[in-house]
Amino acid sequence: MSAVATPLLPVYPPTSVTFVEGEGSWLVADDGSRYLDFVTGIAVVALGHRHPAPLAAAHAQLDRLWHASNLYGTHPAAELATRLSDRFGGAQAFFCNSGAEALEAALKYSRKATGKTGAVALEGSFHGRTTGALALTGQPAKRTAFEPLLDVTFARPNDLDSLAAAVGADTGLIVLEPVLGEGGVRPLTSEFVQAAAELAEQHGALLCLDEVQTGVGRTGTFFAFEQLGVRPQLATLAKGLANGLPIGCLLVAEEASGAFAPGDHGSTFGGNPVACAAACAVVDAVDDDLLSAVTTSSNKLSLGLEGLGELRGCGLLLGLELDRPVPVDDLLEHGLLVSKAGDNVLRLTPPLNVSSHEVETALAILQEVLTR
Ligand code: PLP
């Protein structure tokens, strides 16, 4: 492994590995070593590296048209909006380039739609690093140095009283992650999310489910909210949507549409034809067969992780709480890439189409390293 010294702002810890190639669930470093990728660029490469469907779609679009701007129509953005509206059950889409931008769009949309500036989010949540998305992020370590931020009231996850106390007449937006991903892989109960939907309705606020990490099949349904008995007014997507090309999306349910008019919001690169073409191929690939494969692999992983720590999560967004810091480097030396969701929570986000054999390989490495 070779260390890279590059003139990048040091906002990430130094790394000892540089990747040059990816294939399916595997990454290859510049020294030829192969790693089983259970990070997938933090739940982004949903179908695995160089999956033929988004690869062919992106190639074909690269050969045709890269960019025209949102002053004009392009087929890939229109086709992606139609596909996402169908999956959602009737919605309008705004395309941007990242999860944080999708949350910024949700913040602005709720202000315009409700005329209210109050927002409620959860302690431990993560919604992004731009200042609006950071204001919604309930993690002091990430936000304190940048305060004052927009005023947001935080409730405790799965605590109905705390949520009811946080929402009031000035609340225009309630934002929840169905599973708090960065905040320790903590699923919300359907009771809690349903209570949030009721409170939003009572107070004339919009409920936004942030599905940046949980969406596009990651939890075993296209949207995680399908398992919660709730259909929100707003949903945000990003990460897995284009299998690694930058994209973000705000979906506005048809019944909540109408607040934005031309000039209210925009993005130069949003709706980029190449990213949208790849995303159409991803959405088509997330069919019933793939979703049931997610559940099968999730069950196999969960069974194999029994006894190694407290297991949480849903589908292929799993967190294993250990009684010590996650040995990320040790696992890397054994050829397995995992991420952390807090110091002690080992997070597994393999490709949705990870094979049974790859799950067994990962489990063998985890057993060896975690039981030493
Ligand atoms: N929302 C959630 C739930 C996330 O997990 C993340 C990133 O981890 C974001 C928003 C921010 O997305 P991005 O890093 O693409 O801005």
Q: Which one of 243, 262, 285 terminates a domain? A: 285
161-209 pLDDT tens trace: 999 999 999 999 999 999 999 999 999 999 999 999 999 999 999 999 9
Segments forming the whole domain that contains residue 296:
19-51+288-370
Within this chain, do residues 187 and 43 fall inside the same structural domain, yes or no? no
Distance, CA 270 to ligand 1 centroid (Å)? Answer: 16
Residue 1 in any domain: the answer is no
Residue 105 in any domain: the answer is yes
**127 CB within 6 A, ligand 1:** yes
**181 CB within 6 A, ligand 1:** yes
Within this chain, do residues 168 and 301 fall inside the same structural domain, yes or no? no
Three-class DSSP labels, 36-79: EECCHHHHCCCCCECCHHHHHHHHHHHCCCCCCCCCCCCHHHHH
Within this chain, do residues 109 and 221 fall inside the same structural domain, yes or no? yes
How many Å separate Cα 210 from the centre of its chain?
8
2, pLDDT greater than 70: no
Residue 344 in any domain: the answer is yes
Within this chain, do residues 260 and 235 fall inside the same structural domain, yes or no? yes
242-275 pLDDT tens trace: 999 999 999 999 999 999 999 999 999 999 999 9
Number of separate domains in the chain:
2
Distance, CA 235 to ligand 1 centroid (Å)? Answer: 13
Residue 14 in any domain: the answer is no
> What is the model's pLDDT at position 203?
98
Distance, CA 123 to ligand 1 centroid (Å)? Answer: 16
Distances from the Cα of 364 to the Cα of 119, 344, 347, 357, angstroms: 45, 20, 16, 11
Is the separation of the CB atoms in 193 and 157 below 8 Å? no
Angle at which helices 356-370 and 288-305 pack, to 10 degrees?
A: 20
**240 CB within 6 A, ligand 1:** no
E strand or H helix that includes residue 195: helix 190-203
Candidate from 213, 214, 241, 247 with most ligand 1 atoms within 8 A of CB, to mutate: 213
Distance, CA 212 to ligand 1 centroid (Å)? Answer: 6
Q: What percent of the chain has pLDDT over 90?
A: 98
Residue 321 in any domain: the answer is yes
Within this chain, do residues 105 and 43 fall inside the same structural domain, yes or no? no
Please list, residue by residue across 99-119, b when 16 or more beta carbons sit within 10 angstroms of its beta carbon and e when fewer do. bbbbbbbbbbbbbebbebebb
- Left (φ > 0), alpha (ψ -120 to 50) or beta: where does 158 sit? left
Within this chain, do residues 220 and 346 fall inside the same structural domain, yes or no? no
Q: Which residue puts its alpha carbon closest to atom 10 of ligand 1?
A: 127
> What is the model's pLDDT at position 1?
47
Within this chain, do residues 85 and 173 fall inside the same structural domain, yes or no? yes
Atom of ligand 1 nearest to the CA of 239: 15
Residues 6+ apart with CB under 8 A from 187: 178, 179, 180, 312, 313, 314
Within this chain, do residues 212 and 136 fall inside the same structural domain, yes or no? yes
85-115 pLDDT tens trace: 999 999 999 999 999 999 999 999 999 999 9
Residue 151 in any domain: the answer is yes
Give the Cα-Cα-Cα angle 300, 361, 47 (nearest 5 degrees): 70
Tokens of 368: 């060896």
Across residues 74-90, what is the average pLDDT? Answer: 98
4, pLDDT greater than 60: no
Q: Which one of 248, 264, 285 terminates a domain? A: 285
Q: Which one of 250, 285, 320 terminates a domain? A: 285
Distance, CA 213 to ligand 1 centroid (Å)? Answer: 7
For the domain that residue 167 is a member of, what is the CATH number?
3.40.640.10
Within this chain, do residues 62 and 40 fall inside the same structural domain, yes or no? no
For the domain that residue 311 is a member of, what is the CATH number?
3.90.1150.10
51-62 pLDDT tens trace: 999 999 999 999
**41 CB within 6 A, ligand 1:** no
**182 CB within 6 A, ligand 1:** yes
**137 CB within 6 A, ligand 1:** no
Candidate from 12, 104, 239 with most ligand 1 atoms within 8 A of CB, to mutate: 239
121-147 pLDDT tens trace: 999 999 999 999 999 999 999 999 999
The per-residue pLDDT of the chain, averaged, comes to: 97
**100 CB within 6 A, ligand 1:** yes
Within this chain, do residues 29 and 123 fall inside the same structural domain, yes or no? no
Candidate from 98, 125, 129, 212 with most ligand 1 atoms within 8 A of CB, to mutate: 212
Within this chain, do residues 205 and 133 fall inside the same structural domain, yes or no? yes
Residues 6+ apart with CB under 8 A from 324: 344
Is the separation of the CB atoms in 46 and 246 below 8 Å? no
Q: Which residue puts its alpha carbon closest to atom 1 of ligand 1?
A: 127
> What is the model's pLDDT at position 6?
87
Within this chain, do residues 178 and 327 fall inside the same structural domain, yes or no? no
Residue 5 in any domain: the answer is no
- Best CA proximity match to 271, nearest among 291, 253, 250: 250
Is the separation of the CB atoms in 346 and 338 below 8 Å? yes
- What whole-number distance in Å separates Cα of residue 341 and Cα of residue 126? 11
Residue 109 in any domain: the answer is yes
Residues 6+ apart with CB under 8 A from 75: 273
